[in-house]
Amino acid sequence: MLVFDDRDEAWLRRRMSNWRDWPAERLLDWKEASATRISVVIPARDEEATVGSVVSVVLDELVLEAPLVDELVVMDSDSLDGTAEVAAQAGATVYRCRDVAPSLGTYPGKGEALWKSLLVTTGDILVFVDADLTRWGSHFITGLLGPLLSPDESVSLVKACYDRLGDGTAVSVAGGGRVTELVARPILNMWWPSLAGVAQPLSGEWAARRSLLEELPFPVGYGVELAVLIDTAQRHGVDAIAQVDLGDRAHSHQPDADLAVMAAELMLVAERRRFGAEVAAKPVLTQFAREDGELRMRHRAVPFAERPPARSARVPVSEGAAGDGGPGW
């Protein structure tokens, strides 16, 4: 007999909405009534080809046209190209992650960028958007803000769902990418079945209340989205999470070898949260490549460090890093 947990279906009926349900005009009324500040954060590494257009959409439509966003920040994670310069020219305030609170050290990785964004932004609500988007719109941000600005204050985290596109064609009608389908979704279904209704658990587009984010630990790498999802459900229940259908999304894709490192990160994140297990020092993923006709082993470090809750971080006043360009709205 097939046995399944129907709590995910019940959650989906309660907490699913569409971006069209949240018009900007209504959000502006709610924002003003609640005196809520909103920060949009774009983590980026070597994304000079796309980050400028992402910044421009937010600036033009949600800062200048409809004053919904108070801060537009790009967190530059050790880019070797012109990402920081392009983002600043487009109108964002840019922070280099390693320059934010240097006394706390620095790690490479997306989670590190998001964690350090909590140290330099002031928004009550933070919206995270990937820098490599090629098909999207400002409705991504208004859609994610809807459940958080609405009078129902029980929602603390909002995840995006969408149809994934690549090269102008559908890759998966409603599912996630390779790591989502092969790693993240099985983990959630087996160990946290009440979260099985989250269509894109690893989506880079999500929003949350600062009060929630500052109480959670942050893995420094790609495991941050899965960790925040699981930790939110464990601390506050699944009804603290909502999901919004944003339509279509297109972005660049990574090679399988790089995705394998991401998958290993997710397994470490889940193992910690399921079993409370300590991670062995410097975990390594062994991969293989053929060089000069011979099969050779390649060892790659798997990010495993986690930042403590940001509210516990003690940052000297003198370490408030200055941004590179961009207006202060």
For 250-287, the pLDDT digits (tens) are 756 667 778 898 999 999 999 999 998 776 678 888 98
Q: Are 193 and 8 in contact (CB under 8 A)?
A: yes
CA distance 222 to 144: 20
Cα separations (Å) of 298 from 69, 103, 223?
A: 45, 33, 22
pLDDT of residue 328: 36
What are the structure tokens assigned to 322, written together? 């200055």
pLDDT of residue 7: 72
pLDDT of residue 174: 58
Going by their DSSP bridges, the two strands 157-166 and 169-172 should be labelled as antiparallel
pLDDT of residue 11: 83
Give the chain's domains with CATH numbers: 7-282 (3.90.550.10)
pLDDT of residue 253: 65
pLDDT of residue 322: 47
175: left (phi over 0), alpha (psi -120 to 50) or beta: beta
pLDDT of residue 250: 76
Q: Where are the alpha helices (DSSP H) in the chain?
A: 7-15, 24-34, 51-58, 83-90, 110-120, 139-149, 178-179, 185-191, 210-213, 224-236, 256-275
Q: Are 313 and 301 in contact (CB under 8 A)?
A: no
Q: Which amino acid is at 212?
A: L
CA distance 135 to 165: 8
Buried b (16+ CB within 10 A) or exposed e, 21-43: ebebeebeebbeeeebbbbbbbb
pLDDT of residue 252: 62
Q: Tens of pLDDT along 80-113?
A: 999 999 999 999 999 999 999 999 999 999 999 9
CA distance 14 to 140: 20
CA distance 33 to 21: 19
Cα separations (Å) of 205 from 142, 144, 221, 289?
A: 12, 8, 16, 33
Low-confidence ranges of the chain (pLDDT < 50): 1-3, 167-168, 170-173, 317, 322, 326-329
